[in-house]
Amino acid sequence: MIIIDENLCKGCHLCLFMCYKNVYAISPEINKKGVQLPFVKFEERCTKCGTCEVACPDQAITVDLVENWWMKEDNDVNFNPNFTKEK
Amino acid sequence: MSEHKQNRFLPYLREDRLPHIFCPGCGNGAIINAFLAAMEKAEMDFDNIAMVSGIGCSSRIPGYLKCDSLHTTHGRALSFATGLKTANKDLDVVVFTGDGDAASIGGNHLIHAARRNINLTVICINNNIYGMTGGQISPTSPKGSFGTTAPYGNQDAPFKLAELVAAAGATYSARWTTVQIENLVLSIKDGLKNPGFSFIEVATQCPTYFGRKNKLKTPTAMAAVMKANTVFKSAADRMRAKDLEGKIVVGEFANTQKDEFTENLEKISIEKSGSKTVINSAYESEL
Amino acid sequence: MAEEFFIQGNEACAKGAIAAGCRFFAGYPITPSTEIAETLARELPKVGGSFVQMEDEIASAGAIIGGSWGGAKSMTATSGPGISLMQENIGYAFMTETPIVFVNVQRGSPSTAQPTMAAQGDMMQARWGSHGDYEPIALSPSSVQEFFDFTIKAFNLAEEYRVPVFVMADEVIGHMREKIVVEDNIEIVPRKRPEKVDGHIPFENIENGTTPMPAFGDGFNIHVTGLTHDERGYPDTNNPETHDTLIQRICDKILNNKDKICSIKSENCEDADIVIVSYGAPVRSVVEAVRRCDRKVGYIKIDTPWPFPDEQIAELTANAKDVLVVEMNLGQMYYEVDRACKKNSNVHLLGVIGGLLPTPDEILEKIDEIGGN
């Protein structure tokens, strides 16, 4: 799940530019701060790489990962992001 | 029901001061994130980090981070940091500075800190313009770019900061942009781990002033142009100087090992007094 | 057992700094203060301290402010041109309430002028040099012993009030060799650490104005800025009230303790017709002139030109018809004395520039001139 903090977002739309998978889109509505917020249009495309989280200048994006998100089901390891630590 | 997760960088920030003063689309916020991510990757103790900064947009960053921070006079951040690091060599001192701060008014301090190879990590946020005073050209503004003090285009050649600092004797010097955010994180991590003077120049976008004066009005337009103008160092080494004009060469410019300044001072102290350099001596009633 | 030394003024200053607990020095060579840096470069490593030769005076001033926040008593030594370069960072030190010591071995001025000659031309610069309102403390030694003692006192005052302190020596005192006596029990004031981390307010508006100062790395997570800041240390630049509260507190913590800080020495002032007011090296000639003079002459020696001891001077000159200010400039403290006397006495000036001390004969001549009126 991707959470966008409406109070912190200033509407620069760099998340749209930075996202490798084009997950985001711009909302047509203008909120009370005069900002056209981005919103998550294609969540199914998201690979949870976290680039948007780092690239967001306003700390407004949270990529909410479930614990052990790299596990497919049960103990079937799909990808371990900490693999370099093991060796 | 999963509990509401917080942004991973917010615990490090002084939340009572957010949202910060940076304009929409300013790269400074992303560089805060990159620094914090790098610090996590380097497995450093956040409580042991002390930040020093000068004057300018980028120098406001330490004020938003929940650690000891010294927001100093224009251009002098590196001299304050030299004093701080020398007085307490156990601190991890990080300097946030801008292009006007480090290259113009503080140019002398920059090359001398690099020459001493004092263990500081300097993150120089280069937006090619003076943002806080309203869009004047800086020593790193590309030739031909416009600013309020260059209404007919900048006639001077820009400084190449990463190369300059490498030549001055820094043991780690690199340049990245906010678009290559993953590389930037890894580079800052290397800089933090390097026991010597580490300099990371980050080319960033200033849509409010540089962008507006140079027909790149949105943050995304600036980021796109920056991405298109980026040349990796390995490729740039094989290119002619003429083709490199106006390009941003990214990569590492120095990564060596040399004697460190405060270690040298400690060596002399051990030789002359038999003990390490004293820390927090001002609080002792007897010395 | 007290120890005795026969040393140069600048060496005595360095010795005093180490005795006071100075463990960090950053400086840049400049005549006539260089011997202080040279001595400390040799002596500081022997006590676990650090010496750094910076790239210029601006960097020196910055480094010692950084050093002070790093938890070391810090100082720099320079002369007129150097202190001019340092002014911006001096203002920063006042704004951030950083305890540091500046030694200014004054030389002929303005500009580079006379590097090897004495003067007292920087007295007003010490008061008003940086932009804005602040209240400095300055000490003015008139012998090598006092250069030693006042350097220690400067560190103690700096720590007690969290303020930059100037030691305004001059070339004569800096390069003169005299006997000094170093007592065993030198009183030094250690820095106070705040008691609790939680709920700590770094720039609290407390009654006596001086809050305890944490060092970086102590876990207080303080933000130190030269911008107008609130009690938490966060910038608040557009609120007139915040600025007023802050600057008033920075000034009041010195002004309210003036009676504790100010120090003067006087002789025969009560029934004197003429009172001579002086400070620094010229005091030596004044003492001799008073001794030789057959008229009712007293003198006041100002130890702390800043904050200016108004009340004491007004009191001591109350019965004097004439007041003579002897200094090595064309009249700087003269106006302060004139103001303090509140028109009760005629204030005259013997201002000697050129680098040589005013001689007792010159002072006696001036006394005759005044007496002739």
**pLDDT tens digits, one per residue of B217-258:** 899 999 999 999 999 999 999 999 899 988 999 999 999 999
pLDDT (0 to 100) of residue B171: 97
- Chains C and B touch, contact meaning at least 3 pairs of CB atoms under 8 angstroms apart: yes
Mean pLDDT, residues A66-78 taken together: 62
What residues in chain B have their Cβ under 8 A from chain A's Cβ atoms? 2, 4-10, 13, 18-20, 22-30, 32-34, 37, 178-179, 181-182, 185, 207, 218-220, 223-224
Whether A44 shows a pLDDT value over 50: the answer reads yes
B220 and A16 within 8 Å at the Cβ level: the answer is yes
- Chains B and A touch, contact meaning at least 3 pairs of CB atoms under 8 angstroms apart: yes
Binding-face residues of B in 168-207 toward C, CB within 8 A: none
Q: Which ranges of chain C have pLDDT less than 50?
A: 373
Q: Which of C307, C262, C311, C282 is nearest to C299 (CA)?
A: C282
Q: Which helix (H) or strand (E) holds B271?
A: helix B261-273
Q: In this predicted model, which residue has the larger pLDDT, B198 or A43? A: B198
DSSP B208: I
Residues ≥6 apart with Cβ < 8 Å to B183? B176, B250
DSSP H helical segments within C118-222, as ranges? 123-128, 144-161, 171-175
Cα–Cα distance for residue pair C109/C121, rounded to 1 Å: 6
Neighbouring chains of C at 3+ CB pairs under 8 Å are B
Select the residue of B79, B272, B273 nearest C59 (Cβ to Cβ). B79
Other beta carbons less than 10 A from residue C148's beta carbon:
28
Beta pairing class for A2-4 and A24-26: unpaired
Select the residue of C67, C99, C219 nearest B86 (Cβ to Cβ). C67
pLDDT (0 to 100) of residue C373: 46
Whether B2 shows a pLDDT value over 80: the answer reads no
B24 and A11 within 8 Å at the Cβ level: the answer is yes
Answer for the pair C47, C71: CB distance below 8 angstroms, yes or no: no
Q: How far is B132 from chain A (nearest CA, A)?
A: 17
pLDDT band per the 50, 70, 90 thresholds, residue B4: low
Q: How far is A13 from chain B (nearest CA, A)?
A: 7
C266 φ/ψ angles, rounded to the nearest 5 degrees:
-145, 160
C217 and B85 within 8 Å at the Cβ level: the answer is no
C21 and B82 within 8 Å at the Cβ level: the answer is no
B83 and C234 within 8 Å at the Cβ level: the answer is no
Answer for the pair B55, B75: CB distance below 8 angstroms, yes or no: yes
For C346, left (φ over 0), alpha (ψ -120 to 50), or beta?
Answer: beta
Other beta carbons less than 10 A from residue C370's beta carbon:
18
